[in-house]
């Protein structure tokens, strides 16, 4: 990817302190974008922001944010716009995992998962959509999951939330298409992150073919660059074998 592919563009990434979010923020900056990094951990997102800036030479901004709180997402987007003067790319990555059968999942756990994994994406899209519509350009990329394409009963709340993220993304794609704004969902299999390690620690399940976060970040870049492309409404599976479109609106 050319370091000038996104020169003059600005991006915002949620869940950016570590894992996929950190890799996506670094990849976008490496491609030339200024990047706002959002995360609920103030110290870690600040450290990641500095590291990405040092690594890429691009402008970065750390914004501690709880994506479950609409006013915080609205404020983070406004802060990004004030700092960079524009916003072109939104990557909704923040997410949590849950283990348990559908017939047994406690209400509190269900609400916790959906508050981050679905409402967090909704609030982000609602915050950035007016800006992107006014500009008549923009990219929205959500990080769903292969589990959203092939739901697991053992991961009921998580799987269902990620299936809903795919549907939400495709609805956004249809709604925003008249404004030249594209929305696509990236659906990775297991990724080598702290989250995946926590799954192993809790369940004993191992993932010998876990993807490097950089492979998921590359899939994000593929639907963002070149910026003039109009790919939208797609759910894109990312696996050790590569990437594959598994669902599309046909817009």
For the cut 60, the answer to whether the pLDDT of residue 59 exceeds it is yes
Give which of 241, 217, 208 is closest to 27, Cα–Cα: 217
Burial track 103-135 (b if 16+ CB lie within 10 A, e otherwise): eebeeebbeebbbbbbbbbbbbbebbbebbbee
Pairwise CA distance, residues 213 & 18, whole Å: 9
Q: What are 213-239's pLDDT values in tens digits?
A: 899 999 999 999 999 999 999 999 998
pLDDT > 90 in the chain, percent: 77
Read off the tokens for 152: 């697991």
Residues identified as active-site = 158
Pairwise CA distance, residues 208 & 223, whole Å: 27
Q: Which of 77-91, 95-109, 157-171, 185-199 has the lowest mean pLDDT?
A: 185-199
Cα separation values, 104 from 73, 107, 149, 154, 155, Å:
32, 9, 22, 10, 11
Which DSSP symbol is given to 2?
-
Q: Tell me the pLDDT of the chain averaged across its residues.
A: 92
The torsion angles phi and psi of 24, rounded to 5 degrees, stand at -65, -45
pLDDT at 154: 81
Q: What are 193-218's pLDDT values in tens digits?
A: 676 667 666 766 666 676 888 999 99
Bridging pattern class, strands 242-248 and 34-39: unpaired
Pairwise CA distance, residues 18 & 141, whole Å: 17
pLDDT > 70 in the chain, percent: 90
- Fold for the domain defined by 10-248: Rossmann fold (3.40.50)
For the cut 90, the answer to whether the pLDDT of residue 14 exceeds it is yes
pLDDT at 63: 98
pLDDT at 207: 63
Pairwise CA distance, residues 216 & 64, whole Å: 23
Bridging pattern class, strands 10-13 and 34-39: parallel
pLDDT at 206: 67
pLDDT at 9: 97
Which DSSP symbol is given to 9?
-
- Residue spans per domain, the chain: 10-248
Pairwise CA distance, residues 145 & 117, whole Å: 11
Question: What's the mean pLDDT in 2-18?
Answer: 89
Cα separation values, 146 from 48, 91, 123, 135, Å:
27, 17, 23, 32
Question: What's the mean pLDDT in 5-34?
Answer: 96
Question: What's the mean pLDDT in 94-114?
Answer: 92
pLDDT at 196: 67
- The residue that leads in pLDDT, 179 or 152, is 179
pLDDT at 177: 97
Question: What's the mean pLDDT in 32-43?
Answer: 98
Read off the tokens for 67: 């994506």
């Amino acid at each position: 990817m050319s370091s000038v592919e996104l020169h003059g563009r600005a991006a915002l990434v949620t869940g950016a302190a570590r894992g996929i979010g950190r890799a996506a923020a670094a990849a976008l900056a490496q491609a030339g974008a200024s990047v706002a990094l959002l995360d609920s951990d103030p110290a870690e997102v600040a450290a990641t922001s500095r590291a990405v800036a040092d690594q890429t030479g691009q402008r970065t901004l750390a914004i501690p944010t709880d994506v479950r709180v609409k006013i915080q997402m609205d404020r983070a987007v406004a802060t990004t716009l004030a700092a960079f003067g524009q916003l072109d790319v939104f990557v909704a990555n923040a997410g949590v995992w849950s283990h348990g059968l559908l017939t047994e999942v406690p209400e509190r756990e269900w609400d916790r998962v959906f508050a981050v994994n679905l409402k967090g994406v909704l609030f982000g899209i609602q915050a950035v959509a007016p800006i992107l519509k006014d500009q008549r350009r923009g990219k929205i990329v959500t990080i769903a999951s292969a589990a959203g394409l092939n739901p697991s009963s053992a991961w009921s709340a998580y799987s269902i939330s990620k299936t809903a993220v795919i549907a939400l993304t495709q609805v956004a794609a249809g709604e925003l298409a008249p404004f030249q704004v594209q929305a696509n969902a990236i659906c990775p299999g297991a990724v080598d992150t702290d989250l995946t390690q926590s799954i192993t620690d809790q369940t004993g399940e191992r993932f010998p073919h876990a993807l490097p976060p950089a492979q998921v970040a590359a899939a994000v870049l593929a639907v963002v660059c070149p910026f003039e492309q109009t790919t939208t409404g797609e759910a894109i599976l990312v696996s050790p074998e590569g990437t594959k479109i598994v669902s599309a609106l046909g817009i």
